[in-house]
């Protein structure tokens, strides 16, 4: 089996889908790895490092797609408008794996399906114990949560730790993290490591223990519910009345803190608005908001994706593609996720096998044999459900 890794073509994308370490693992499993020259340079690995681990370097992405049975990418069809130029490079039966935005880019999924390829979307990996080593969303959220705190510390008008100085005591910065998923928990841990006093809120009461174990206070608003996530571990959306009540109750916490980091996102949907302009106006001058949901529209209604702005004396940072800002470790984590997935899918005689009874395959398989097959993507496209194997036999 030949595994291909082309350069990323999304603007400012510095990550890569394979690192020398995972190339060595693939070679040990008996696979050939084709790498487009320069694919790992922006992440910190030169071609020689890949060659030393057994990768075959090719001069063009056309060669990668022409020869590879499995193509590994960071941003693939749907998550990268520039990837549409790769459609003509696809061949029937080929498998492409990467982030694809399938729930919001259904039309692109139909175009890919028409080429007869298998498309696997990494953001749809089930958040289960069995799939944990392949969970790329969690890996990238870890990077984003860490980086968000560093950005906030650089922008806020205070130092994070308490300092006892000859000029007197400097009180620590106060940080409020909204959402205690993977990104939120990493943000909490990083802010605490820098010496800040941290408070966090999440609609899921079960995360209170995790928040407190990191040394932060868990803010209870009385809105917490066990129904805040799907069976697959992803966040659910609520109605506007719920978010309005949530904003009302969070307003006091915003006033008391110097930094607010928001992480609330629902797959395939616009991010819920948790901070309104009046709430921002009431915050302390010099405060900072880092909105990790900026790419989904933002948790703050004033957020401008990709920009840092100042409104009512508050700095609002709307980072996009934040994991790419730390490309070496982000690539290392993502490449390991992909390697674990490939290992899972090739357990039978070293060949790719998409077991449709496997919950991991069911979760991430978007296109197969000319069809969009993922139930949620089909629903978003207005397509009827496909017949199950049992129904076809009847």
CB burial of residue 30 (10 Å; 0-12, 13-18, 19+): exposed
Cα-Cα end-to-end distance for the chain: 36
Q: Which residues, other chains included, contact 226 with Cβ-Cβ below 8 Å and sequence gap of 6+?
A: 204, 205, 206
Closest to 104 (Cα-Cα) out of 390, 386, 374: 374
* Residue 129 CB neighbour total at 10 angstroms: 7
Evaluate whether 266 touches 236 at the Cβ level (below 8 Å).
yes
Q: Quote the CA–CA distance of 206 and 51 in Å, as a whole number.
A: 47
Closest to 72 (Cα-Cα) out of 377, 358, 375, 346: 346
Number of H helices, E strands in the chain: 13, 17
Q: Quote the CA–CA distance of 137 and 376 in Å, as a whole number.
A: 18
Please give the DSSP secondary-structure letter assigned to residue 358.
Answer: -
Rg (CA), the chain: 22
Q: Which residues are catalytic?
A: 127, 132, 135, 138, 234
* Residue 174 CB neighbour total at 10 angstroms: 20
> Would you state the structure tokens that stand for residue 281, as one six-digit string?
């106006």
């Amino acid at each position: 089996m030949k595994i291909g890794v082309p350069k990323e073509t999304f603007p400012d994308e510095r990550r890569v889908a394979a690192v020398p370490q995972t190339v060595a693992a693939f070679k040990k499993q008996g696979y050939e790895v084709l790498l487009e020259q320069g694919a790992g340079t922006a992440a910190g690995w030169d071609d020689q490092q890949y060659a030393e681990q057994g990768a075959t370097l090719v001069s063009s992405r056309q060669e990668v797609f022409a020869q590879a049975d499995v193509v590994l990418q960071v941003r693939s069809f749907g998550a990268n408008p520039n990837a549409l130029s790769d459609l003509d490079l696809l061949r029937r039966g080929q498998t492409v794996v990467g982030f694809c935005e399938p729930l919001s880019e259904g039309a692109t999924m139909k175009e890919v399906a028409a080429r007869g390829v298998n498309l696997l979307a990494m953001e749809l990996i089930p958040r289960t114990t069995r799939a944990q080593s392949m969970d790329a969303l969690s890996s990238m959220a870890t990077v984003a949560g860490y980086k968000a705190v560093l950005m906030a510390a650089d922008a806020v008008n205070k130092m994070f730790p308490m300092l006892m100085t000859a000029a007197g005591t400097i009180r620590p910065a106060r940080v409020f993290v909204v959402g205690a998923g993977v990104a939120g928990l990493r943000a909490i841990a990083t802010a605490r490591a820098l010496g800040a006093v941290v408070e966090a809120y999440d609609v899921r009461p079960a995360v209170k223990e995790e928040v407190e174990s990191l040394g932060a206070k868990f803010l209870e608003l009385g809105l917490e519910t066990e129904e805040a996530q799907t069976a697959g571990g992803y966040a659910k959306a609520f109605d506007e009345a719920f978010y309005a009540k949530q904003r009302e109750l969070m307003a006091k916490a915003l006033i008391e803190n110097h930094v607010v980091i928001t992480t609330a996102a629902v797959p395939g949907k616009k991010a819920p608005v948790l901070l309104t302009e009046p709430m921002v106006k009431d915050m302390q001058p010099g405060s900072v908001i880092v909105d990790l949901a900026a790419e989904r529209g933002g948790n703050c209604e004033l957020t401008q994706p990709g920009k840092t702005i100042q409104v009512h004396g508050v700095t609002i940072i709307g980072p996009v593609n934040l994991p790419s800002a730390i490309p070496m470790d982000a690539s290392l984590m993502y490449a390991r996720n992909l390697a674990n997935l490939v290992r899972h899918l090739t357990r039978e005689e070293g060949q790719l096998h998409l077991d449709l009874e496997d919950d991991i395959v069911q979760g991430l398989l978007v296109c197969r044999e000319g069809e969009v097959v993922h139930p949620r993507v089909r629903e978003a496209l207005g397509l009827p459900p496909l017949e199950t194997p049992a129904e076809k036999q009847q």
